[in-house]
Structure 1
């Protein structure tokens, strides 16, 4: 929901840093994989009982997620780069809740399963819409220049990262927060389905 408003603020900074990294010979795919590695390290740190310490690799991971696209735009973009980025993002988004389930399987298991199910549904609605948008040559840069068509929603990247930060700061509240955030993810996915019906129903496929 907030992503479209903060992109004009953060994109110039990221693009400037991306140009510096590109001149140094850093490849966008390497930045993507570094970000994924940091995200998985954050999940492991949570699972090992230190969610507060997970904040640093978590936030650095998301910085890398913003920088990889900036590096690509400053050097060479590729369809594979965009593919690798979205796959890495989805793995990261699933790994952090998994870390909290590992931290306390008995207390967090049910809420974590519900949260991951909501992520699965929300992600499917996002990717399905992106496929149809590509098929009909739809374009948008409201959430930055992306390889995929990014639809808006109640919960987007900013809200999810803020949620993860809150979980790391107050891990004892994981279960109620996960139930609430998961419910909002289901609302987001359902609203995207309604949007797809309005946009694509009656549109003849090729």
Structure 2
């Protein structure tokens, strides 16, 4: 929801990052890999109990995840494989933080598993619909908006990191939000894929 409605306000800052990366001879795919590595590092930092650094690293990873697409559009180098990398690495980052929390707090292992499965369900609907629906946007496939997009996910992951031993409420709330989003996307898919 935030990504869909707020991106236009953040795009000037994202474009500045893209232009800097281009100056440094970084391709969109290079930035995608850097974003993923930083995101995985945030999961490790969450496990090691460096919550503030973990959150800052996670959000910088997310910023670079937006920069990579802008680089591709600026240089007209967007590719289907770049899209695959981007979406796959996004899930790796989410998984790294979820695993970091679950390993640090084993009492959350089961509910963390439910969260991971809810993300799998929502992304399955998102990707299947995206590949089958007519694309009318600037992305390489049809993008389904929903309650839980990347920014909402980062907010919830950040709250999980901050809450530490009390993260169970956040994990359960995040699962509900993701499943609600999956329902939204499923209903939309039924409407647009007749």
- Shorter-normalised TM range: over 0.9
Count, aligned residues: 193
Q: How far did residue 125 of structure 1 move? A: 1.0
Q: How does 1:1-206 map to 2 (within 5 A)?
A: 1-75=1-75, 76-105=77-106, 107-133=107-133, 137-140=134-137, 145-201=138-194
Structure 1 runs of 4+ aligned residues shifted over 6 Å read none
User: Is the partner of 2:52 in helix, strand or coil?
Assistant: coil
**1:71-119 deviation per Cα after TM superposition (whole angstroms, max 9, x unaligned):** 11222222221221111111112221111001111x1111111111111
Instruction: Could you tell me which runs of 5 or more consecutive residues in structure 1 were left unpaired when the two chains were aligned.
Output: 202-206
**1:20-64 deviation per Cα after TM superposition (whole angstroms, max 9, x unaligned):** 321331111110000100011111111233333311211111111
Cα RMSD, aligned residues only:
1.5
Which whole-Å CA distance do the structure 1 matches of 2:167 and 2:18 have between them?
Answer: 35
* The structure with more radius of gyration: 1
Q: How far did residue 138 of structure 1 move? A: 2.6
TM-score, structure 1 normalization = 0.88
Which whole-Å CA distance do the structure 1 matches of 2:177 and 2:79 have between them?
Answer: 33
Identify, as 1 or 2, the structure richer in helix.
2
Which whole-Å CA distance do the structure 1 matches of 2:74 and 2:187 have between them?
Answer: 37
TM-score, structure 2 normalization = 0.93
